[in-house]
Amino acid sequence: MLNVRGLTKKYGDTEVLRGLDLTVRRGECFGLLGPNGAGKTTTLRLLLGLIEPDSGSIELAGFSVPKHAREARMKVGVVPQMDNLDPDFSVRENLFAYGRYFGMKKSAIAARVPHLLEFAGLTNKADAQITQLSGGMKRRLTLARALVHDPDILFLDEPTTGLDPQARHLIWQGLRHLIADGKTIVLTTHFMDEAERLTDRLAILDHGCLVAEGAPRALIESHIEPVVVEVFGEGLADWTRHHAASLCQRFETVGETLFCYLDNADTVIDALKLAPTLRYLHRPSSLEDVFLKLTGRDLRD
């Protein structure tokens, strides 16, 4: 469905992408993860043919991009990072206007609108103005708008950023429906739980190249120990100096927290019970641990 080989893009002297390879299969939900500035949004813009790569090839929905970007975009629905619903139109009119951009006839759009409104949970808001919608409603409408031409593949750029938990769950539910319907989905996100929940496979992008690729569970298993104990509290520095190296396979101190990565946490927890001023959190390792291990803990702005 999507095949990217050796994609590079430079802005001035900054190499945003340095030889990116990606393959997304039909019907797959693929996650693109990476810190801010890793090149996620640039990648999506290149895939859509909005900007031209310096080198490399893109094949999207059977079309070579950017040469046949128009034809490719006919098959793609896009949910951008920033809401850009048309504030001059009502909810229903937004769907009609967007359908027209794809060259759809009024009757063809009209046939799809009730279904789209229902999918977005906006049937009784059909005539509301965009300014009257909550953030979650706007996102759902943006998602419905991306589906107006019944695309084969969906690009979602941080689809749940800025939403409250209820609104996020509604979006996830909608996306799971689409996956069940056989749509191919490419999504970028900062939320590891979102990636873990939704994606079949994901790639972690940093400094313009892939640093890891695979199914979420497989990535966790292959990149990191299965258990994490986070330790914090008074006397942490002393405890770390005396015990961490002998008890943990791998550890790191971040701010005032010690992260111990382990196959088995029993010995560490026994030792911690003897240090009453320390508190700890014992949990299975997650995608976030993999992400931080691979991309580092430096702040990206």
Q: Which of 91, 100, 178, 194 is nearest to 141 (CA)?
A: 91
Q: Which is nearer to other proteins, 101 or 232 (CB)?
A: 101
Rounded least distance, CB 136 to other proteins, Å: 19
Residue 93 in contact with other proteins, rule: CB under 8 A: yes
Tell me how far apart the alpha carbons of residues 66 and 57 are, in angstroms, rounded to a whole number: 9
Give the total of residues touching other proteins (CB under 8 A): 28
CA distances from 278 to 148, 253, 269, 275 (A): 55, 14, 11, 6
Residue 232 in contact with other proteins, rule: CB under 8 A: no
Q: Which is nearer to other proteins, 72 or 275 (CB)?
A: 72
Q: Could you say which of 15, 21, 23, 74 contacts other proteins (CB under 8 A)?
A: 74
Tell me how far apart the alpha carbons of residues 211 and 295 are, in angstroms, rounded to a whole number: 8
Indicate left, alpha or beta for 213 from its phi (over 0: left) and psi (-120 to 50: alpha): beta
Residue 73 in contact with other proteins, rule: CB under 8 A: yes
Residue 11 in contact with other proteins, rule: CB under 8 A: yes
Tell me how far apart the alpha carbons of residues 51 and 54 are, in angstroms, rounded to a whole number: 10
Q: Could you say which of 13, 82, 131, 165 contacts other proteins (CB under 8 A)?
A: 82
Residue 107 in contact with other proteins, rule: CB under 8 A: no
Q: Could you say which of 59, 102, 123, 294 contacts other proteins (CB under 8 A)?
A: 102
Q: Give the distance from CA 64 to its chain's centroid.
A: 24
Residues 147-186, mask of contacts with other proteins (x by CB under 8 A): --x-------------------------------------
Tell me how far apart the alpha carbons of residues 107 and 281 are, in angstroms, rounded to a whole number: 58
Which runs of E-coded beta strand occur in the chain? 2-11, 14-24, 29-33, 55-60, 63-65, 76-79, 153-157, 184-189, 201-206, 209-214, 227-233, 250-254, 257-262, 278-284
Q: Which is nearer to other proteins, 91 or 229 (CB)?
A: 91
Q: Which is nearer to other proteins, 86 or 270 (CB)?
A: 86
Q: Residue 210, Cβ neighbours under 10 Å: how many?
A: 15
Rounded least distance, CB 298 to other proteins, Å: 26
Tell me how far apart the alpha carbons of residues 116 and 107 are, in angstroms, rounded to a whole number: 15
Most distant pair of Cα atoms in the chain: their distance: 74
Residue 59 in contact with other proteins, rule: CB under 8 A: no
Rounded least distance, CB 289 to other proteins, Å: 34
Residue 89 in contact with other proteins, rule: CB under 8 A: yes
Residue 63 in contact with other proteins, rule: CB under 8 A: no
Q: Could you say which of 70, 105, 177, 273 contacts other proteins (CB under 8 A)?
A: 70
Residue 88 in contact with other proteins, rule: CB under 8 A: yes
Which stretches of the chain bind other proteins, using CB under 8 A? 11, 45, 48, 50-51, 69-71, 73-74, 76, 78, 80, 82, 84-89, 93, 97-98, 100-103, 149
